[in-house]
Amino acid sequence: MSIPKTYLPKEIEDKWYNYWLDHAFFRSIPDEREPYTIVIPPPNVTGVLHMGHMLNNTIQDVLIRRARMKGKNSCWVPGTDHASIATEAKVVAMLKDRGINKKDLTRPEFMTYAWEWKEKYGGIILEQLKKLGASCDWDRTRFTMEDDLSEAVIDTFIHLYNKGLIYRGIRMVNWDPQGKTAVSDEEVIRKEVNQKLYYIRYKVSGSEYQVASSESNQSNDLIPDTQYLTIATTRPETIMADAAICINPNDARYFHLHGKKVLIPLINREIPVILDEYVTMDFGTGCLKVTPAHDLNDYELGQKHNLPVIDILNDDGTLNENAKILIGEDRFAARKKIAVLLEADGYLEKVEDYTSQIGFSERTDAVIEPKLSMQWFCKMDEMAKPALDYVLKGEIKLIPDKFINTYRNWMENIKDWCISRQLWWGQQIPAWYLPDGRFVIAKTREDAFEQAKNLKSQISSLKSEDLKQDEDVLDTWFSSWLWPISVFDGFKDPNNADIDYYYPTNDLITAPEILFFWVARMIMAGHEFRGQAPFRNVYLTGIVRDKLGRKMSKSLGNSPDPLELIEKYGADGVRVGMLLCSPAGNDLMFDESYCEQGRNFANKIWNAFRLVKGWDVDATLPNDNEVAIDWFRSRFNQALIEIEENFGQYRLSEALMTTYKLVWDDFCAWYLEMIKPAYQKPIDSETYDATIRFFEDVLRILHPFMPFISEELWHDELFGERAEYNCCIVAQIPTSGEINTQLLSEVEIIKQLISQVRNIRNSKQISPKEALTLSVKANSAISYKAYEQVIKKLANISSVDFVVEKLQGATNFMVSTDEFYIPLTENIDPVAEISRLKKDKDYLLGFLKSVNAKLTNERFMSNAKPEIIEVELRKKDDAEAKLKIIEEGLSALAE
């Protein structure tokens, strides 16, 4: 036989992927069929395929392929996200390599470089997805910054502004000093960090003239120091921005400070001591430095107490002239230096170790600086309500549903969305400023000019060139929240055939970490612009972790290269590997051995094919495999129902496992072994034909999981001539037929019987080649005669006798209540036999006791459901029957 012994996926995968592409099997255009639509969560253009993508896209492809094979018009829309911060960072880095500084470029020049970069390096990830077998409709590939989609973003901004949902305001934002942009709360990663807590003394202003005893406070000994108060801070470099010291009005230790002022060390600026119950008395010293410009809570406290805001930091995190000292130093360098200065002047009381949560930028990993700045915001509460309702009413299902609570919690406490970013790569905010500072919102300069002219008390000499467009761009999510609509041009042309047909989409497959960034906002946009949710089900995948439970990341180096995995195990093997370890919504502990298991499975299928391929047919032979054929048909139909149910509940790994066991155990290990002709003997045509049909059906159910090997085998001449478009990818998933449950349960008994015989061989070291004889004493209603062929073949039995008496001197075993005997030339050890039977007897007696205890318990008899009692009675009968047989065996041995 010239077919290789192991399955070699490499050239097969390329061959079939190209074939599918050439024959436009991924292409979807609206027709009379029911649509099944998924829009891809657009990966960043800067992205390279990582394990998270592998999981996510494998799941999408399985669902898409299965829907296609169920006769639906499957449409999987691919595309990429322009990812402003990440991409701009890459472009800036590229320019730096070429010796170009972004600062020296004009905005249009920079954008030219950026597009150049995008064309060259962007979207590699989509090419990589093809290796996985992703059956996306590539003709529909979109990019969130292409013209139509950008236009949709701008129109959306204008629409929401006119509705009063977008406003401009000074807010404390999360400032990324490295990316020099504001980032949203969701883009801030909090990490536990070891820090220092500095205890710093502030001199009480004019304290040298005060005499402690002149205070009404009697307990002078409680006053730690009348000259100083001490505060604790992790950020000593911000003391120059202090606006006040705050104490709790109930704090007895500090009554003497009420109404006083203190001096900031080193710069000697006077600030008041204010009172607020906000301060926790038992944290630090009970004195809190209030720094409105550099801390969110302090800012709010400052607003309440009308404190000035003194910003001492530049955009890049260095100190500015407001700081008076250490101007130009980076905030972290300044922290160290100021500690030294404070120490030198005796202001530093002590330093303690301290751990706390600090925010880091998701994109640049820089420590986030709270910063006051003028930003654009989108009001959320009005839009959040309907978006929450979709999920609570079940119009959108979250899978698994444990995320509903999380979703609700977030939506009910939602804050306004900061949508401006201080970058160039992205959609520039369509706000146009007049020389007097007022602004208008318009799509073009011309529109803006028209509007500006109509503003009240506008000087008549205003020229179009006087308008200055806002420098900022919009947050990337402000374009991706439109994705399910914009990919079908639902903004440009709201009633076009595509959007009417494909929207709302069916399933969204994404990671729980972007449930709020993206999923929630898409629901808002779907409601706002289409009056309909953008999808019906949201399948939330887990996070791919390594074996030790650590998140896979570049910096840890614990993430395998997906393309290398595909190279090593084949795309089908990797797909199976991903799914095997991924129950819905749970994180998955990925390990390469899962891919190995997938590869082995592909190999198993390959070899089953080699077996069948090697058979010769003799049409004159009778069919003596009817039982096997009927059994497998029933078993297959039964498995189909299970698989269908698993898919219905989005239990993909279980659907795969059911398929895996059906193919490996039922089809290969049992069915093929049952019908396999003896070496170099032909097979009858009826069995052969049935087997070919079964194999074809097996390929159909395998296809969504393992598209390549199933397509490859599908086209083998074994299955007859195939027309050009007769491909597994568009074959129909078989529908379940009749299930003979009696046959299924009887075959389970026969399998046990065969296992028992093999077990005896194993324990008595009898070669599988040596044929044995079997005597059957049937006490049940099963007709063993019908299974004689199967038993003979799989247990290597030369003859089966049906007896009514026990067989003496033979080794025996029981299956259900039927008895079986195998006469052995070898001697039987009566002692061992007796001890084995006694063990069984003891077990049965104990079991019977517990059953009887139930049956004689009046409360059980009166409370339990009748069918439960019936079950107990049957258990009792069964056990008693078995016990009787064992007793007989024991007394026979005793003779």
Binding to RNA (CB under 7 A): which residues in 331-370? 357
| Residues numbered 411-430 forming contacts with RNA, rule: CB under 7 A | 413, 415
Contact 76, 134 (CB under 8 A): yes
- What is the separation, in whole angstroms, between the first and last Cα of the chain? 58
| Residues numbered 538-557 forming contacts with RNA, rule: CB under 7 A | 547, 549
Least distance between RNA and beta carbon 375 (Å):
16
Other residues' Cβ atoms within 10 Å of the Cβ of residue 361 = 22
Other residues' Cβ atoms within 10 Å of the Cβ of residue 15 = 13
**Taking CB under 7 A as the rule, does residue 882 contact RNA?**
yes
Query: Site map for RNA, 760-789, x if CB under 7 A?
Result: -xxx-x--xx--------------------
What the block records as the tokens of 151 is: 């236009």
Please classify residue 562 by burial: count the beta carbons closer than 10 Å to its beta carbon, then call 0-12 exposed, 13-18 middle and 19+ buried.
Answer: buried
- Nearer to RNA among residue 492 and residue 613 (C-beta): 613
Instruction: Please state, in angstroms and rounded to a whole number, the distance separating the CA atoms of residues 444 and 459.
Output: 21
Contact 821, 870 (CB under 8 A): no
- Nearer to RNA among residue 209 and residue 283 (C-beta): 283
Options 64-72, 630-638, 691-699, 840-848: segment touching RNA (CB under 7 A): 840-848
- Nearer to RNA among residue 322 and residue 586 (C-beta): 586
Q: Residue from 847, 883, 892, 893 that binds RNA (CB under 7 A)?
A: 847
Cβ partners under 8 Å of residue 852, min gap 6: 876
- Please tell me whether residue 586 adopts helix, strand or coil conformation: coil
| Residues numbered 632-691 forming contacts with RNA, rule: CB under 7 A | 653-654, 657, 660-661, 664-665, 668-669, 672-673, 676, 679
| Residues numbered 189-228 forming contacts with RNA, rule: CB under 7 A | 190
Q: Residue from 5, 107, 438, 849 that binds RNA (CB under 7 A)?
A: 5
- Nearer to RNA among residue 716 and residue 878 (C-beta): 878
Options 102-110, 370-378, 799-807, 847-855: segment touching RNA (CB under 7 A): 847-855
Ordered DSSP codes for 133-182: T----GGG-EETTSHHHHHHHHHHHHHHHHTT-EEEEEEEEEEETTTTEE
What the block records as the tokens of 607 is: 């070899």
- Nearer to RNA among residue 410 and residue 719 (C-beta): 410
Antiparallel, parallel or unpaired: β 142-143 and 244-247: unpaired
Least distance between RNA and beta carbon 643 (Å):
14
Contact 627, 782 (CB under 8 A): no
* Size, binding site for RNA by CB under 7 A: 81
Instruction: Please state, in angstroms and rounded to a whole number, the distance separating the CA atoms of residues 699 and 195.
Output: 59
Q: Residue from 146, 185, 276, 362 that binds RNA (CB under 7 A)?
A: 185
Options 443-451, 718-726, 750-758, 798-806: segment touching RNA (CB under 7 A): 750-758
Ordered DSSP codes for 166-233: EEEEEEEEEEETTTTEEE-GGGEEEEEEEEEEEEEEEEETTGGG--GGGSS-S-GGG-S-SSEEEEEE
Least distance between RNA and beta carbon 567 (Å):
12
- Nearer to RNA among residue 581 and residue 822 (C-beta): 581
Least distance between RNA and beta carbon 676 (Å):
7
C-alpha distances in angstroms, 358 versus 197, 242, 287, 409, 695? 14, 20, 22, 23, 58
Residues, the chain = 895
| Residues numbered 39-78 forming contacts with RNA, rule: CB under 7 A | none
| Residues numbered 571-630 forming contacts with RNA, rule: CB under 7 A | 580-581, 583, 586-589, 591, 593, 597, 599-600, 602-604, 607-608, 610-611, 614
Options 404-412, 554-562, 625-633, 827-835: segment touching RNA (CB under 7 A): 404-412
Antiparallel, parallel or unpaired: β 473-474 and 505-510: unpaired
- Nearer to RNA among residue 830 and residue 846 (C-beta): 846
What the block records as the tokens of 88 is: 């701009």
**Taking CB under 7 A as the rule, does residue 884 contact RNA?**
no
Q: Residue from 489, 860, 883, 890 that binds RNA (CB under 7 A)?
A: 860
Other residues' Cβ atoms within 10 Å of the Cβ of residue 451 = 17
Antiparallel, parallel or unpaired: β 535-540 and 505-510: parallel
Q: Residue from 872, 885, 886, 889 that binds RNA (CB under 7 A)?
A: 872
Angle, helix 9-22 to helix 707-714, in steps of 10 degrees: 80
Query: Site map for RNA, 472-511, x if CB under 7 A?
Result: ----------------------------------------
Options 99-107, 370-378, 426-434, 753-761: segment touching RNA (CB under 7 A): 753-761
**Taking CB under 7 A as the rule, does residue 755 contact RNA?**
yes
Of 4, 383, 338, 1, nearest to 163 (Cα)? Answer: 383
| Residues numbered 258-317 forming contacts with RNA, rule: CB under 7 A | none
Give the DSSP letter of residue 426: S
Contact 646, 662 (CB under 8 A): no
- Nearer to RNA among residue 32 and residue 353 (C-beta): 353
- Nearer to RNA among residue 323 and residue 698 (C-beta): 698
- Nearer to RNA among residue 41 and residue 677 (C-beta): 677
**Taking CB under 7 A as the rule, does residue 516 contact RNA?**
yes
Instruction: Please state, in angstroms and rounded to a whole number, the distance separating the CA atoms of residues 329 and 319.
Output: 6
| Residue that has been written with the tokens 């019906």 in this structure | 536
Of 493, 473, 472, 486, nearest to 522 (Cα)? Answer: 486
